[in-house]
Structure 1
Amino acid sequence: MENQTTKEAGTDRTLFGQIELSKKVAQAIFDMGFEEPSPIQAKAIPAILEGKDMIGQAQTGTGKTATFGIPMAERLDPKDGRVQALVLCPTRELAIQVAQEIAKIGRLIDVKALPVYGGQSIDRQIRALRYGVQVVIGTPGRILDHLSRKTLRLNNVRMVVLDEADEMLDMGFIEDIESIIKETPEERQTLLFSATMPAPIQKLARQYMKNPEFVTISRDKLTVPLIEQVYYECKESQKADALCRVLDMEEIGAAIVFCRTKRGVDELVASLESRGYFAEGLHGDLTQTQRDRVMKKFREGKAELLVATDVAARGLDVENVTHVINYDVPQDPESYVHRIGRTGRAGRKGIAVTLINYREYRQLKLIERVTKARIQRRELPSMADIMERQKEAHKQRVLQLLQAGHFGDYKSIISEMADEYDPMEIAAAALKLLVEGPEAEKEAEDEVSEFGNTGAEPGMVRLFMNIGRAQGIRPQDIVRTVAEEAGIPGNVIGVINIYDKFTFVEVPEDVAGRVLGVMHQNMIKGRKISVEPAKAR
Structure 2
Amino acid sequence: MSNFSQLGLSSSLLDALQDLDFKTPSEIQRKAIPILTDGPCDFIGLAQTGTGKTAAFGLPLLESLDIENPSTQALILSPTRELAQQTAKGLQSFAKFLPKIRIQAVYGGAAITEQIRGLKKETHVIVATPGRLIDLIKRKSVKLNNIEKVVLDEADEMLNMGFKEDLNKILAFTPQEKSTWLFSATMPPAIKSIVHEYMQDPVEVSVNTGNVVNENIEHRYALIKASDKTEAIKRIMDTEEEMHGIIFCRTKRETKALAETLNNDGYSADALHGDLTQRNRDTVMKSFKSKRIKVLIATDVAARGIDVNDVTHVIHHTLPDDNEFYTHRSGRTARAGKKGVSLGLATRNDLKKVKFLEKALKIRMEKQLLPTPLEIQSNRVTQWAKDIVNTEIARDISDEQWQQVQEAFVGIDKNELLSRLISKELKSMNSVASNEDINISEKKETKKPGKSTKEREKVKKVNGASERFFINVGSIDNVNKRELLQFICEQARLKTESIGNISLQKKCAYFDVEKKYAKAVANKFKGISLDGRQLRVNRDDGGGRRRYN
Q: Which TM-score applies when normalising by structure 1? A: 0.46
The higher-RCO structure (CA 8 Å, 6+ apart) is 2
Q: Which TM-score applies when normalising by structure 2? A: 0.45
